[in-house]
Amino acid sequence: MARASLRHNHIAVNVCSALHQRVGVRCRVLTSDQRVVTGDELYTYPDGLVACGKLDVMMVLGTGTVRNPSLLYEILSPSTRDHDLGEKLTRYKTIASLKEVLLIEQDVVDVVHVRRTATGWEEERYTSLADVVPLLTLRRGLPVKDVYARAFEI
């Protein structure tokens, strides 16, 4: 998102760093400049993503577009909140490779973990800095304290 708040940017760096430290060699972390295509052909830019295995990229007008993210994350902003929680999340769920989405509030400690199950999609909310989000993609937890480290000093 262009012209994001300082806190939004700080959280984005925190999440990217925390994921990068945990991915190992089979996955890669990409930032908000990476375009993704949904199963119903929406081209969009999440705040970040993790792709595992061989990266599936298609070229569209000279730009590489990822088709196989395993995890996407969005940092919610007042101007994009409704879209991120509504249509965008619905379209993310059409990506065959996608296992989970993180929806991260920037003004309070609140991370919603949306994950694919055998019967559909489930959500769980984490609102304490002591919580750890169990990421399917990484087979490791993401401490909420790492997501918000120093974010409220801004």
Closest CA to 49 of 83, 18, 73, 21: 73
How high is the pLDDT of residue 94? Answer: 97
Most confident of 58-67, 74-83, 101-110: 101-110
Q: Which domains does the chain have, with CATH numbers?
A: 6-153 (3.90.1570.10)
pTM of the model as a whole = 0.95
**Would the pLDDT of 128 be above 60?**
yes
CA distance 18 to 31: 13
* pLDDT > 90 in the chain, percent: 88
CA distance 147 to 56: 27
**Would the pLDDT of 1 be above 80?**
no
pLDDT in tens, 26-78: 999 999 999 999 999 989 999 999 999 999 999 977 889 999 999 999 999 99
**Would the pLDDT of 90 be above 70?**
yes
Apex CA 46: angle with CA 7 and CA 68, to 5°?
145
